[in-house]
Amino acid sequence: MMKNFVSLTELSADEIWTVLNKAIELKTEWKNGGNKPILKGKVLALVFQKPSLRTRVSFDVGMLHLGGHGLYLSPNEIGLGGRESVPDVARVLSGYVDGIMARTFSHDHIVQLAEYASVPVINGLSDFNHPCQAMGDFLTILEHKGSLDGVNLTYVGDGNNVARSLMFTAAKLGVDFTIATPEGYEIEPEYVAMAQQFAAESGATLRFLHDPIKAVTGADVIYTDVWTSMGQEAETQKRLAIFPPYQVNEKLVSHAKDDVIVMHCLPAHRGEEITDAVADGPHSVLFPQAANRLHAQKGILALLMA
């Protein structure tokens, strides 16, 4: 079984299903009166370079539900890779805690933490992928569609870390994946090639388009994210001029299946990538999706730290 939870590319389909099934088990247990304290006495270090609402609260509460404790470490307290080298931070924290969750700018920092730590390391987000988000997302799709069989998942917007995470997970699990991006904002060719290898094994179909209407036609799930991610603020005005045709609005959603669900990893820039009418409308599962971060991550914590 996995030692760390760093990149979706490193996980087998069986390992991903193990996380999802554990999440379902723990969510059911929690709804029926609470989780068993399987992490009693355990401490998870929460290392943040980037701010977060969902990642911070869901990991903290997840540890509480499982009987353990989350220890928040702000960007200024560590200065990861600046004031102190990443390998040194990994080795120091390993002497104090039972697991490390890190939310970083550079994926290389996560990789180094996993290499030098003697306790499990969880990727809470990096510029390469967002695997915890993907687990919450696929848990949400399972709950609303009943199965992943025959599901068409369509992402509209920037080919960013969230888009890569959805692509890798879909390709591993045999879920058909379509992405529509503006020209110049596609997922990088080397990552597409990796996903196509996974898809060849699972039977998933991957489509890479520029036309958002064509992309969402027949979709079971429409997913979007902010047009400008943290760290790209200098590109904001340029992106605001390019991305409006990729807004998830009622007109775009009308081209998908009648029972389509609309997803967003949040925070949303309402009026940009998604309208209020869609975010708060009948197809939206934005907030059940956010809540499922808690349960998906409890699955990860239980498998790595119990």
Catalytic residue among 60, 225, 283, 295: 225
Burial track 64-83 (b if 16+ CB lie within 10 A, e otherwise): ebbbbbbbebeeeebebbee
Decide if 83 is catalytic.
no
SS3 at position 148: coil
Catalytic residue among 112, 164, 265, 289: 265
Decide if 107 is catalytic.
no
* Residue 122 bridge partners (DSSP): 5, 101
Token output for 292: 């499922």
Catalytic residue among 109, 293, 295, 297: 293
Torsions phi, psi for 81 (to 5 deg): 80, -5
Q: Taking the alpha carbons of 146, 150, 152, 153 in that order, is the dihedral positive or negative? A: positive
Q: What is the DSSP string of 202-228?
A: HT--EEEES-HHHHHTT-SEEEE--SS
Decide if 130 is catalytic.
yes
d(CA 43, CA 170): 32
Catalytic residue among 65, 103, 239, 295: 103
Decide if 265 is catalytic.
yes
Catalytic residue among 133, 247, 289, 297: 133
- Opening angle at CA 66, ends 64 and 68, nearest 5: 55
Decide if 132 is catalytic.
no
Catalytic residue among 54, 65, 109, 130: 130
| Rg of the chain taking only CA atoms, in angstroms | 19
Decide if 54 is catalytic.
no
User: Hey, which residues are catalytic here?
Assistant: 103, 130, 133, 225, 265, 293
